[in-house]
Amino acid sequence: MKEIRSGVPDLEEELGRPGPALVAEAADWPGDVVVLGAGGKTGAGIASMARRALDAAGREDVQVLAVSRWTDARGRAGLEKLGVRPVVADLSDPAAVDALPDAAVVIHLVGAKFGTASAPEQAWMTNTVLPAFVARRYRGARVVALSTGPVTGGSRESDEPRPVGDYAVTCRGREQVFTHAARTEDTPVALIRLNYAVEPRYGVLADLARTLLAGNPVDLGAGAVNVVWQRYANEVVLRTVGHAAAPEPFVLNLTGPETAGVRALATRLAHHLDVVPEFTGEEPATSLLADATLCHTLFGYPDRTLGQLVELQARWITEGGELWDKPTKFERRDGSF
């Protein structure tokens, strides 16, 4: 396991590092890879990892295309330096989607979560209508679409979906749109239900660390959470390309193996941060958790344990590492974001 000591460049290099299994699989990818929503939180890591895996596999003939509005000039330049080709497009415009370059592999990362409680129409447009544009443009390509754990009413992939709130309902709508493409167009699809990927700039651990350092009480309303190292999540998304299926999509829960009680997690973080934790609210009898047994059976366990992630988070924030102002709102259980 590589230590992350030199700030953002070192972190980003690690988040885009492909493992040997991914390199071997990338050698068999059928053609160009398009990453939709590459300017978001996870897009740069996934796009750079895809490029590096292809290079290591000797597949310089395959392009990686990173699609976004690209308001982040630094992020765009970083990907270009690695050999990723940025494509500027507004994916809410069907004409812009139709004009996108051809690709044999599609990684769909586009989604709307925060602010959807006050503007639910944005969630419906981004999470449900926009995927229909993509499914039409890339019919027949291998599609891996990011979804979310809250779409389901249980912890396993086979449990009956019972989404709550506009965010979860529209994410379930995204799944159904791509399922329709799998059944009617024979488009191979993989649906990835991701629960709380973390890295030092963003995620449940960053939220808890900031709360503790500010001297504010930690909300126990979530009870327990699943978290997973972002590098591992990036790699699983790309390795799922080979599992995309039709007419029934491949569905996968993606998270870590541990069930982390919020109180215990905050207490552990507080120890590393040398603060005394305070708490508010009551711990519920149940929590929104995912069983990722299938993921770990297929792709192995994450390369960083929960304890290592806690230590990394504490060190990062105490050393003044960059943080993103993007709270996860993991404590919400009513589906309102």
Q: What is the pLDDT of residue 168?
A: 84
C-alpha–C-alpha distance, residues 291 and 155, integer Å: 5
Q: What is the pLDDT of residue 152?
A: 67
pTM above 0.85, yes or no: yes
Q: What is the pLDDT of residue 335?
A: 55
Q: What is the pLDDT of residue 122?
A: 84
Q: What is the pLDDT of residue 274?
A: 96
Q: Counting Cβ atoms within 10 Å, is residue 216 exposed (0-12), middle (13-18) or buried (19+)?
A: exposed
- Tell me the HSE value of 22 on the side-chain side, using a 13 A CA sphere: 27
The b-or-e profile of 97-135 (16+ CB within 10 A means b, else e) is beebeebbbbbbbbbbbeebbeebebbbebbbebbbbbb
Q: What is the pLDDT of residue 75?
A: 87
C-alpha–C-alpha distance, residues 27 and 24, integer Å: 6
The residues of the chain scoring below 50 in pLDDT are none
Q: What is the pLDDT of residue 163?
A: 77
Q: What is the pLDDT of residue 220?
A: 94
Q: What is the pLDDT of residue 167?
A: 83
Q: What is the pLDDT of residue 285?
A: 84
In terms of phi and psi (left: phi > 0; alpha: psi -120 to 50; beta: otherwise), the region of 258 is beta
Q: What is the pLDDT of residue 27?
A: 98
**Residue among 217, 209, 170 nearest 314 (CA):** 209
Token pair listed for 313: 């988070």
Q: What is the pLDDT of residue 173?
A: 92
